[in-house]
Each structure stands twice: as structure tokens, then as C-alpha cells.
Chain A
Amino acid sequence: MANLRDIKRRIKSVRNTSQITKAMQMVASAKMRRAQELALRGRAYISALANVLQHLSATIELAGASLMQQREHGKTLVIVVNTDKGLCGALNANLLREVLAKTPQDADYMCIGTKLSPVLQRLGRSVRFTFSVSDNMTDVELKPIFEALRRGFEDGTYNRVLVAYQRFVNVMVQRPDMHELLPVTASELMEIASMDDIEDTQMGNFLLEPTPAALLASILPLYVSNMLVQLVLEGKASEQSARMVAMKSATENAKNLIAELTLDYNKARQTQITNELLEITTATRAME
């Protein structure tokens, strides 16, 4: 029979842990609401941009733009959007599996979030940079990353830039996903533009001001950089919801454990009392 004091000590430690996980759950759910809102609103913006770009492509030939060039030679750059902190369930592990399955061995990697970078390095993949961005990140924080990959793409070092991230489906479901950031393709624009409810009507000949080239030169980088921002936002929203769910189940587990331990404790106490009573009665009998 377990010692009464040992059981009591265990109950106390489990209760402390459950308080921590409970607090983390609250924090994550507050952050999640914000991140989720940002991610969903961003989707409308990015699809509006894609809509404009798509219409632009109906009027002029886009293929010449440097960010849309398809090239045979060059390496693949993979941007892995993972988390800075753990305790978010199997989020990073699932993402890692997706990354390893879908990227070539000799690709270069760039991590946004610090958790997966040592793992990738240990697996012999070449990790070029690791960044971490704050929870309420703005697009300014991602600007240097975007500039770096744009330069790499334009000078021909890379012919493909992929982003691996956790797509936010809903609070319970996050799906690891790959998005081809560069080169931008016409089919991708079509797909993203159709995500929004903006009605698509005729593909008319548009009047373009100031000039087609100037328009394209400003809108295409804007689209790509906002796409990157959007994917990171999705990652953040997924992280917070995964953490919230993980912490919620941890709290529930702790509650069950406490219930079991309390039962054990009471049983042990009962046994002890019975033993004491037995001793007293025996002693009284002996004295008579």
C-alpha cells in the first residue's frame, strides 16, 4: 500500500502542473483569436491582389517578369515556417515529415521559427538562415527575408522557392502544406483569386495606367511579399490553436490523474483507519 504522504505529494505536483497548462491554454486561446483573425483577413487581401494580377495578365504578357521566370537550372530554396516554442502537439513533427517527403536532398533551407532548424541540420540538410519573428509580427519583420530570397531568385541561384507551413483549417485541424512562392504561375493566381467572393466577369481589355511595365513591377513584388506574410500568419494561427488544443488535453489528463490519485488516497486512508481501530480493539480485549 502506497504511503499516504507520497500520494498527497503527487496530487499536489499534478495540480501545480495542471495550473500551468491551464494558464498556457488561456494565453494560447487569446493569442489564437488574434492570429486567426489576421490570417483570415489577410486571405481577402491576398486574393484581391491576385485578382488584379490575373486581370493584368489578360491584357499583357506576364511571362517576361523576373519573378515569373521558369528556369531549368538552379537549386530549390525551402522556407520552413515552424514555431519558436514547443508544447504545441505534433505540429512541428508533421511539418518536418512533409518537408522531408517533398523536397529534394540538396535543397537549401531557411527557417522562420527556431524549432526545426537543428533537426534539419542533424539530418544533413543545409540550413542557410534561421529567423524568428514575434507573435504580433508585422510585414516589416519579413522584409529582409523577402529581399534575400528575391535576390537569390533573380540572380539565378534558385529556380524555385517553396514555403512549407501549417495551413490553418480550423481550430482542431491544421494541415501541413507546401506553397510554391516563386516563380509565380498563372494557374496559382487563378486559384487564389477565386478564393474570394469577388465576382469574376469578363476578361476585358483593361486601360492600364501609368504603363503596363510599371504596374507589373510594383504589384508583383507586393503580391509575393504579402503572400509570404500571409503564409507566416497562417503558421502563427496554426501554432496557437495547436498549442491551445494540446494544453487543453494536458489539463484534462491532469484532472483525471488527480481523480485517480484522490481515490487511491482515500482508500489508503480508510485502510489505515481500519488498521488503527483493529489495533485499539485488540489492545482493549487483551487488557480485559
Chain B
Amino acid sequence: MPLHLKIITPLRTVAEADALSILVPATEGQLEVLPGHTALITSVSNGELSYRTATSSVSLFIGGGFLQVENDMALIVTDTALAADEMDPSSINAAIEQARTRLRNESSVLSREEQTRLEAGIAQQLAMLEYKRRKHVR
């Protein structure tokens, strides 16, 4: 019996499929979920998520979020999920540049939380670029 996978972001339900296996970038390291996996809740970090269905295999970039596996239902709740061809490197670069300039020039006025948020944003964008580059080389 396959694993029912659902990936949800605030903007849309990115994917709903019956997967044979899911490879997830959990915060504790890469994690592969197969049908019959024990009930699990874990946090997920920036990185590549790939899953295999009976007919195809799909790869996506996902931002931080959560994975819940229960009774052969896998639910991934994340803030971003993008395929490689949906990303635009130039706009990502621009966003990184903008965040860096803010960090450099306004570090005195920014609150601590805001600084951490900007840094987390940069990390996510960098991870996105890295993913895009790797997909391109292959």
C-alpha cells in the first residue's frame, strides 16, 4: 500500500500523490519515509525533498516546516515549496543582496528578532540557489 503524501504551503497545496518513498531533509539529517513508517512528527529544514511514485520521481525545494507521518499519511507543512524551474536565480540574488544591505546598514536600528529573521531568510535563499545549481549540473 503506497504512502499518501500531501505538501501544503500557505499559498497552495503543492502536491498530493501516492508515493512509494519520500526523502525529506529533516533537521536531524536526511530521512527516508517508506510505506508502513511509524507515526512521526519532525521538523524539516531547507533543502531538497524528493519522492517516487509508481510512474515518476519528483524533486522539490522546500523551506523549513514540519512533517507528520501517521498511518501511511504523510503531511508536509512548509512555507515554501518550489520546483527547480519555478525559481528565478536573479530575483533570489536580488533578495539576498537586499537583505544583506539591510543587515549591514541598519544593524543598529533592527531588533534582534528582525536580524535573526533576515539571516534565516538569507540562509533559505542560499539553500535555494544551491539546489538550483545542483539541479542544473545534473
Contact A44 B8 (CB under 8 A): yes
Q: How many residue pairs between the two chains, A and B, have CB atoms under 8 Å in the bound complex?
A: 81
- A11-55 CB contact bits vs B (8 Å, 1 = yes)? 000000000000000000000000000100110110011011001
Contact A198 B6 (CB under 8 A): yes
Size class of the B contact interface (CB-based, 8 Å): 20 to 34
Q: B73 to chain A: which residues have CB within 8 Å?
A: 198-199, 201
Q: From B9, B10, B43, name the one whose CB has the most chain A CB atoms within 10 angstroms.
A: B10
Partner among B11, B26, B113, B117 whose Cβ is within 8 Å of the Cβ of A209 = B26
Partner-contacting stretch, out of B33-41, B50-58, B84-92: B33-41
Q: Give the complex CA separation of A202 and B75 in angstroms.
A: 15
- A201-214 CB contact bits vs B (8 Å, 1 = yes)? 11011111110001
Q: Is A80 an interface residue (CB 8 A)?
A: no
Q: B107 to chain A: which residues have CB within 8 Å?
A: none
**Could you list some 30 contacts between A and B, CB below 8 A?**
A38-B11, A41-B10, A41-B12, A45-B9, A45-B10, A49-B66, A52-B68, A52-B77, A55-B41, A55-B68, A56-B41, A198-B6, A202-B70, A202-B71, A204-B70, A205-B39, A206-B41, A206-B68, A207-B38, A207-B39, A209-B26, A209-B28, A209-B41, A209-B42, A210-B42, A214-B43, A215-B41, A215-B42, A215-B43, A219-B43
Q: Is B13 an interface residue (CB 8 A)?
A: yes
Q: Is A128 an interface residue (CB 8 A)?
A: no
User: In the assembled complex, how far is the CB of residue A26 from the closest CB belonging to chain B, in whole angstroms?
Assistant: 25
Q: Is the interface of A mostly helix, strand, loop or mixed?
A: helix
Q: A199 to chain B: which residues have CB within 8 Å?
A: 73
In addition to A44-B13, A51-B68, A208-B41, 15 A-B residue pairs with Cβ atoms within 8 Å of each other are: A41-B13, A48-B75, A49-B66, A52-B75, A59-B41, A201-B70, A201-B71, A205-B39, A206-B39, A206-B40, A207-B39, A208-B42, A209-B27, A209-B41, A215-B66
Q: B66 to chain A: which residues have CB within 8 Å?
A: 49, 52, 215, 219
Closest residue to A42 on the B side, CB-wise?
B10
Q: Is A229 an interface residue (CB 8 A)?
A: yes
Size class of the A contact interface (CB-based, 8 Å): 20 to 34
Q: B113 to chain A: which residues have CB within 8 Å?
A: 147
Closest residue to A214 on the B side, CB-wise?
B43
User: In the assembled complex, how far is the CB of residue B18 from the closest CB belonging to chain A, in whole angstroms?
Assistant: 14
Contact B40 A207 (CB under 8 A): yes
Q: Is A226 an interface residue (CB 8 A)?
A: yes
User: In the assembled complex, how far is the CB of residue A77 from the closest CB belonging to chain B, in whole angstroms?
Assistant: 20
Q: Is A188 an interface residue (CB 8 A)?
A: no
User: In the assembled complex, how far is the CB of residue B102 from the closest CB belonging to chain A, in whole angstroms?
Assistant: 12
Q: Is A102 an interface residue (CB 8 A)?
A: no
Q: A214 to chain B: which residues have CB within 8 Å?
A: 43
Which residues of A pack against B, CB within 8 Å? 38, 41-42, 44-45, 48-49, 51-52, 55-56, 59, 139, 143, 147, 198-199, 201-202, 204-210, 214-215, 218-219, 226, 229
Q: Give the complex CA separation of A229 and B13 in angstroms.
A: 17
Q: B28 to chain A: which residues have CB within 8 Å?
A: 209-210
Q: A208 to chain B: which residues have CB within 8 Å?
A: 40-42
Q: Give the complex CA separation of A158 and B13 in angstroms.
A: 35
Q: Contacts A204-B39, A205-B39, A210-B43 known; A45 to B71 CB distance under 8 Å?
A: no
Closest residue to A207 on the B side, CB-wise?
B40
- B79-100 CB contact bits vs A (8 Å, 1 = yes)? 0000000000000000000000
Q: B9 to chain A: which residues have CB within 8 Å?
A: 45
Contact A209 B68 (CB under 8 A): no
Contact A206 B77 (CB under 8 A): no
Q: From B8, B12, B27, B71, name the one whose CB has the most chain A CB atoms within 10 angstroms.
A: B8
Q: A198 to chain B: which residues have CB within 8 Å?
A: 6, 73, 75
Q: From B11, B28, B41, B73, name the one whose CB has the most chain A CB atoms within 10 angstroms.
A: B41
Q: B38 to chain A: which residues have CB within 8 Å?
A: 207
Contact A209 B10 (CB under 8 A): no
Ordered nearest first, which 9 A-B pairs have the shortest CB separation? A209-B42, A204-B39, A207-B40, A201-B71, A48-B8, A206-B39, A45-B10, A52-B68, A48-B77
